[in-house]
Structure 1
Amino acid sequence: MYRALDDETRRLVLDELAARDGQTLFEICSTLATRHGLTLTRQAISQHLGVLEDAGLLRTERRGRSKFHYFTPAPLAEIARRWPLPERTTP
């Protein structure tokens, strides 16, 4: 999962899916191009999506010829639960 989050493009993809879940590859490519100026090929974005899916950070659903991508925040929540920060007081 850490390798998946190490890439800025993948973090942007997760940000966009968190903002609007259930996007197709075409929608994700269009959003990245218009909002972030990323002009990557569909194949490159598809590879990024595969890494995120393998890490458990997104899931996909096929409907007809379309494949929809959904953000899965559970792995990130597990990290937050694993290392809780104690209350800090400023000196």
Structure 2
Amino acid sequence: MDADQLNLVFKAIADPTRRRLMDRLSVRPNQSLLELCAAAVAKGQTPMSRQAVSQHLDVLERAGLIAVTWAGRTKLHTLDLTPLRAAGEAWLEKHLGKGPET
């Protein structure tokens, strides 16, 4: 995994709102934007505008953390943890086993 992709993944998961969206998609894949917005309200969280949720989903999609399919005119989002696993492994591989610099 190259440094740019690694940065995209870590930037995407750095935001707590995006992590909540990932949590929702891990429980139930293939959710639309409207379903993801409604889930926040149902859980008593502060509601977000569709535009705000859409922007968070775009960041996750660019990082490869969600896959998108279409059902008619509805865009469905599904979690894909493959890039997160690869990023974690790449970062750990780079840093594990290195002792303190002397």
SS in 1 for 2:43: helix
| 2:8 pairs with 1:17 | no
Identity %: 37
Equivalences for 1:28-39 in 2 at 5 Å?
28-39=36-47
Of 39, 43, 47, the match for 2:51:
43
Q: How many residues align?
A: 86
Secondary structure of the structure 1 residue equivalent to 2:31: coil
5+ unaligned residues in a row in structure 2: which ranges? Answer: 1-8, 98-102
Partner of 2:11: helix, strand, or coil?
helix
TM, length-normalised to structure 2:
0.77
Unaligned runs of 5+ in 1: 87-91
Of the three residues 46, 49, 61, the one matched with 1:53 is 61
Change (3 A) 1:6 1:80: closer
CA distance in 1, matches of 2:66, 2:44: 20
RMSD (Å) for aligned C-alpha atoms: 1.6
TM-score, with normalisation over the residues of structure 1? Answer: 0.85
Whole-Å separation in 1 of the counterparts to 2:46 and 2:87: 29
Q: Equivalents in 2 of 1:35, 1:77: separation in Å?
A: 28
Task: Report the Cα offset of residue 38 of structure 1.
Answer: 2.5
Q: After TM superposition, give the deviation of residue 6 of structure 1 in Å.
A: 0.9
Measured against aligned partners, the alpha-carbon deviations of 1:22-60 in whole angstroms (never above 9, x if no partner) come to 000010001122215121100100000000000110011
SS of 1:21's equivalent in the other structure is coil
Q: Which amino acid aligns with 1:78?
A: A
Partner residue in 1 for 2:83: 75
Secondary structure of the corresponding residue to residue 60 of structure 1: strand
Larger helix share, 1 or 2:
2
